[in-house]
């Protein structure tokens, strides 16, 4: 029994297992983990031998969790959450220049300024380990709700950011954001665009959610010819196929030289905010409080909009 218990409670095995649950792809999970696919497969088989039951099934190329796998996921997340909370409590009394910071970024958030800040922060605090991943909005809210990340970088308002949910969270504004409509035609009018073909985001994307408030109700669904989860692929496809689309103002500012589509002036501007979202007690942890202070100092040196307009630098 002891050998089996050791196998099940291996932090490495459980971490690999949860990454595979999140990715549902051995190839993608192994890339994220920085290991080979055979090494990942070995860890999963080790867990399956320990519990005496398959944790994953497969239909064609698609993985799914078995009943045993679902139970293991619940247990693994509970264990990691407990450990994470305990470490946080301990590190509340440690120095601000050590430990780790876990950050989840919305997959459609323009990362240029955040990347610049993280590089600078990492150089100044080499003993603080940064763990950074990109997620869609549902995954990101799930991660922050389960205390699996320290900071979520996302857009507000959001349907998840209701009064009840936000009682346990604090927010810190990163930037003021808006949507820019793009057309292959010069001086195109909004009323004409609404009759034309579009490239849009996936149904559950934040930008789809906020765009629907203003325009989707008057754009026939059959006029949306393609959906992408990321802005780069969306813009490239729209440009190549002569479609209308839309992006955040930040994305347009950062990549304007590569965008041949034309911005369209509208009377109504769709505004929202990029924010850090975090549990209120996180601000008591020195390294996390220091992270937020360094962000303020970073913007005091040069504001967000100016940094967006500058060429990328990794110095």
| Angstrom distances, CA of residue 47 to CA of 8, 24, 38, 71, 74 | 6, 16, 14, 13, 15
CATH for 2-76 is 1.10.10.10
d(CA 4, CA 19): 21
Q: Which H or E element spans position 99?
A: strand 99-106
Average pLDDT, the chain: 85
d(CA 214, CA 280): 33
For residue 9 the two structure tokens come to 């409670």
d(CA 132, CA 111): 11
What does the pLDDT look like over 162-193, one tens digit per residue?
666 677 888 999 999 998 999 999 888 878 88
Q: Phi, psi at residue 301, to the nearest 5°?
A: -70, -40
Q: What angle do CA 89, 93, 99 make, to 5 degrees?
A: 75
Specify the pLDDT at position 98: 72
Q: Which H or E element spans position 33?
A: helix 26-33
Q: Would you identify the CATH topology of the domain 177-272? A: D-Maltodextrin-Binding Protein; domain 2 (3.40.190)
What does the pLDDT look like over 268-304, one tens digit per residue?
778 889 999 998 888 888 889 899 999 999 999 999 9
Q: Would you identify the CATH topology of the domain 77-175+273-309? A: D-Maltodextrin-Binding Protein; domain 2 (3.40.190)
Q: Which pLDDT band, with edges at 50, 70 and 90, does 90 fall under? A: low
Q: 210 or 151: whose pLDDT is higher? A: 151
* Inter-residue long-range contacts of 118-122, CB under 8 Å, 24+ positions, other chains counted: 119/314, 120/298, 121/291, 121/294, 121/298
Specify the pLDDT at position 1: 41
Which of 2-6, 202-206, 275-279 has the highest average model confidence (pLDDT)? 275-279
Judged against a pLDDT cut of 50, whether residue 208 lies above it is answered with yes
Judged against a pLDDT cut of 50, whether residue 3 lies above it is answered with no
For residue 178 the two structure tokens come to 């808006």
Specify the pLDDT at position 194: 78
The owner of tokens 């490495």 is: 12
Q: How many helices (H) and strands (E) does the chain have?
A: 14, 11
Q: How many CB atoms lie within 10 A of CB 99?
A: 20
* Side-chain-facing half-sphere of 179: CA atoms under 13 Å: 25
Q: Which H or E element spans position 104?
A: strand 99-106
pTM for this predicted structure? 0.68
- Among residues 162, 164, 133, the alpha carbon closest in space to that of 149 is found at 133
Q: Do 2-76 and 77-175+273-309 share a fold? A: no
Residue 160, SS3? Answer: coil
For residue 100 the two structure tokens come to 């780790």
Q: For the chain, what are the domain ranges?
A: 2-76, 77-175+273-309, 177-272
Specify the pLDDT at position 312: 65
């Amino acid at each position: 029994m002891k050998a089996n218990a050791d196998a099940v409670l291996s932090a490495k095995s459980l971490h690999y297992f949860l990454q595979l649950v999140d990715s549902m792809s051995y190839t993608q999970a192994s890339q994220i983990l920085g290991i080979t696919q055979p090494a990942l497969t070995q860890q999963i088989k080790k867990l399956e031998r320990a519990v005496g039951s398959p944790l994953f099934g497969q239909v064609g190329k698609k993985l799914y969790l078995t009943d045993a796998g679902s139970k293991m996921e619940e247990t693994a997340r509970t264990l990691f959450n407990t450990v994470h909370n305990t470490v946080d409590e301990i590190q509340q009394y440690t120095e601000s220049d050590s430990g780790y910071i876990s950050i989840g970024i919305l997959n459609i958030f323009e990362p240029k300024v955040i990347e610049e800040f993280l590089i600078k922060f990492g150089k100044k605090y080499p003993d603080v380990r940064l763990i950074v991943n990109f997620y869609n909005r549902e995954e990101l809210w799930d991660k922050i709700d389960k205390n699996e990340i320290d900071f979520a970088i996302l857009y507000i308002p959001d349907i998840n950011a209701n009064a009840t949910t936000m009682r346990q969270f604090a927010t810190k504004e990163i930037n003021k954001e808006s949507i820019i409509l793009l057309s292959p035609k010069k001086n195109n009018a909004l009323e004409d665009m609404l009759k034309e073909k579009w490239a849009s985001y996936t149904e559950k994307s934040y930008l789809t959610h906020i765009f629907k408030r203003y325009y989707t109700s008057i754009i026939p669904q059959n006029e949306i010819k393609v959906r992408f989860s990321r802005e780069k692929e969306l813009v490239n496809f729209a440009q190549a196929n002569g479609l209308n689309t839309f992006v955040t103002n930040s994305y347009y500012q950062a990549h304007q030289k590569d965008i041949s589509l034309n911005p369209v002036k509208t009377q109504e501007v769709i505004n929202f905010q990029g924010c850090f979202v975090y549990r209120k007690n996180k601000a008591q942890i020195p390294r996390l409080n220091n992270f937020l202070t360094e962000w303020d100092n970073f913007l005091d040196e040069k504001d967000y909009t100016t940094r967006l307009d500058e060429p990328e630098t990794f110095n």
